[in-house]
Amino acid sequence: MKPRLREKRSDDIITLRGDNVCIIGNCCCPPYGVMSVVGRRKEMEDTVAVVPSFHSEPNERSKSGRGPFSEFHFFGVYDGHGGSQVSVFCRERLHDVLAEELRASSPSRLDDCRRDFAEWKKAMTNCFVKIDTQVGGSCPSGTCSFDDSNGNNYSSSPCCRDSVAPGNVGSTAVVAVVSPSQIIVANCGDSRAVLSRGGKAIPFSNDHRPEREDEMIRIEAAGGCVVNWNGFRVEGLLAMSRAIGDRFLKEYIISEPELNCTDRTEEDEFLILASDGLWDVLSNENVCDVARKCLSGYRSEKNRSHYASAAAVAAALLTKVALARGSTDNISVVVIDLKKDRQNNGRNNGCL
């Protein structure tokens, strides 16, 4: 079911909060739709964050007084496991930490606030590692306290007593930053991003699963093992090879994200972020076909609210299709409409 959201308005700032969805920002943003459902699970461990204009930077036009700052918009999907504590923490904090990282450096190209891949890689990696440390993912003394599924208690360490979650709780993170000139996606875990460009579904992240050859090599080099037991699992326990949290497997489960970055083009249609509750039962092509049909009917519309409605319909329909296909997991979907002819600059011409 769709979460109940509490709305608070202050000038042009809108804050929407529900049990697992957080939307903070103003209306200066590409049209998007969000749907998050518990599905056939007993508990909801997914969370979603949407933060329009979470970061802004001066450009050549703004510095000369001829235009506004360039706006950056944040979208994130977090799929928790073992509990929702880490995914909730990511929803509340990750975009703020990323904004801090971006403010600490300047883009290499000031004319359009374009950063190169290395700059984005540094900012995203620092952000994910800091979040992982804050949730208690790193233990300086090398020991942590948690209870496993059999009730066994492992040795405790003072540095972990104030951690966000027990040692066996973690979360994936797939986040996207959409700027006037670029699309940047960082991924840690098996949530996924797919870009539709020119009618084609382009994978924009790589799932971090233990059976991936490079991930298996990394895990085994660190002294771990991948066991094929009810699917491939790290130490026979975790079905993903990277995550935020999971400090009881931190020697093998790293929080470093993989990045994909591209310049925006006229062929860009939409970007989809979703948890594996969607991708486990639908291919990238199936997902993009459904979203494209929902969005394409609105191209000639001039009412901006219709654009947002189309993206919301697409997100909702994708969750329904996934459930009909037998998905047994929580399902969270974000659809971001990137089509240039559906954009409306609103009150601020620097916004998308």
Q: Centre a 10 Å sphere on the Cβ of residue 305 and count the other Cβ atoms it contains.
A: 9
Beta carbons of 193 and 332 less than 8 angstroms apart: no
Lookup: tokens for 86:
């880490």
pLDDT at residue 111 in the model? 53
Distances (CA, A) of 39 to 44, 77, 87, 91, 243: 8, 16, 17, 20, 22
Beta carbons of 39 and 325 less than 8 angstroms apart: no
SS3 88: helix
CB neighbours of 277 closer than 8 A, spacing ≥ 6?
39, 46, 79, 322, 327, 328, 329, 330, 331, 332
Domains in the chain, CATH or no CATH each: 6-137+170-207+264-342 (3.60.40.10)
Smallest Cα–Cα separation from 307: which of 32, 25, 19, 22?
32
Beta carbons of 171 and 79 less than 8 angstroms apart: yes
**How far is it, in rounded angstroms, from Cα 82 to Cα 94?**
20
pLDDT in single tens digits along all 352 residues of the chain: 444 444 443 333 334 445 677 776 555 789 999 999 999 999 999 999 999 999 998 765 555 545 567 899 999 999 999 999 999 999 999 999 999 999 998 776 555 557 889 999 999 999 999 999 999 845 555 555 444 444 544 443 445 556 889 999 999 999 999 998 999 999 999 999 999 999 999 999 999 999 999 999 999 999 999 999 999 999 999 999 999 999 999 999 999 999 999 999 999 999 999 999 999 999 999 999 999 999 987 655 555 555 568 999 999 999 999 999 999 999 999 999 998 545 554 333 334 4
pLDDT at residue 303 in the model? 53
Give the rounded distance of the alpha carbon of 281 from its chain centre: 19
pLDDT at residue 155 in the model? 41
> Exposure of 306 by Cβ count < 10 A (0-12 exposed, 13-18 middle, 19+ buried)?
middle
Q: How many helices (H) does the chain have, and how many strands (E)?
A: 7, 17
Give the rounded distance of the alpha carbon of 173 from its chain centre: 5
Backbone phi and psi for residue 318, each to the nearest 5 degrees, phi listed first: -60, -40
Lookup: tokens for 343:
């954009």
Beta-bridge mates of residue 23? 16, 50
Beta carbons of 291 and 270 less than 8 angstroms apart: yes
SS3 324: helix
